[in-house]
Amino acid sequence: MPWSSRHLKWLVDTGERLKTIDGKIVEIWELRHKKDDELLSLWARHFRNHYCRDAEIDFLRNGTGYSRKEYLERIKFPDVAAAPGPSIRSGDFGEILVADYLQYLLGYWVPRSRYANKAVRNESTKGCDIIGFKFLNNGKDENDDIMAIFESKAQFSGTRATPRLQLAVDGSAKDLVRKAESLNAIKQDLFNHGLLVDAKKVERFQNLEDRPYHEVYGAVALFSTEVFDKTEIAKTKTKTHPFSKELFLIVIRGDTMMYLVHELYRRAADEA
């Protein structure tokens, strides 16, 4: 299997909690990544397969004249230097890490189709950032099933913090409108890959009125330690969010995060 969760051992709940201006709790997590070639290679493979499955890359690159590395760098991955490539890289990285958090730490099923279908590599994918599903009670009471929709915003460069958590909250507030299209996109991708059982799982969440379930929302801001600012986080407002009571707020910080992002992309291409 191309997927790996071993890098999640580096994602640590610090136990620190902040409060927003309207009293919402913000969990503070830290990504304590290290120089570990084996683990970084597993993570890079996991990362690469979001954009292009290893089982499909040779077919897809045929006709281009590119090697696997060239195909990934020129067709699939955001650019390493030319704007807006680096910011797209940090955004995609943040979304994938949050998807891993939802799946491997919180126990949601998170389909991975968002990045492989990009038509333009240096653009963000439209729709909800991360959607996860949880099926409870072995199907005996569907009303207990949960759909989680999380928005993530990253800042891994600069000299001062920007309101990334507020931007994540504001983006999350729009997910009520984007939900239907995002669910359809996930279902369609699963169907196109012949994963009909999984597509039917998504279908269960497409009509809240007829088949009720619980919804939870999350807003996540990711920072390099150099621009992590508690004061800026505390300014975040959540009361206008349509699901403010079901809204989880998380900040993930880590050292040299942009270096880590570029290193993952480099390894993902070199080791394809």
The predicted-structure confidence for 212-263, as pLDDT tens digits, reads as follows 999 999 999 999 999 999 999 999 999 999 999 889 999 999 999 999 999 9
> CA–CA distance from 232 to each of 57, 154, 221, 229, 262 (Å)?
43, 14, 11, 5, 26
Domains of the chain by residue range = 6-270
Query: With 0-12 CB in 10 A as exposed, 13-18 as middle and 19+ as buried, what is 40?
Result: buried
Sign of CA dihedral 152, 100, 179, 138: negative
Within 8 A by CB and 6+ apart from 269, the residues are 48, 68, 69, 72, 73, 77
Single out the residue of 188, 179, 172, 186 nearest to residue 241, CA to CA: 172
Kindly report the pTM of this predicted structure: 0.96
Per-residue confidence in pLDDT tens, the chain, 272 aa: 799 999 999 999 999 999 999 999 999 999 999 999 999 999 999 999 999 999 999 999 999 999 999 999 999 999 999 999 999 999 999 999 999 999 999 999 999 988 988 889 999 888 999 999 999 876 556 788 999 999 999 999 988 889 999 999 999 999 989 999 999 999 999 999 899 999 999 999 999 999 999 999 999 999 999 999 999 999 999 999 999 988 999 999 999 999 999 999 999 999 99
User: Residues of 146-180 as b/e, b for ≥16 C-beta within 10 angstroms?
Assistant: bbbbbbbbbbbeeeebebbbbbbbbbbbebeebbe
Residue range 33-59, pLDDT digits in tens: 999 999 999 999 999 999 999 999 999
Mention every residue, 6+ apart, whose C-beta is less than 8 A from residue 258. Answer: 86, 90, 156, 157, 224
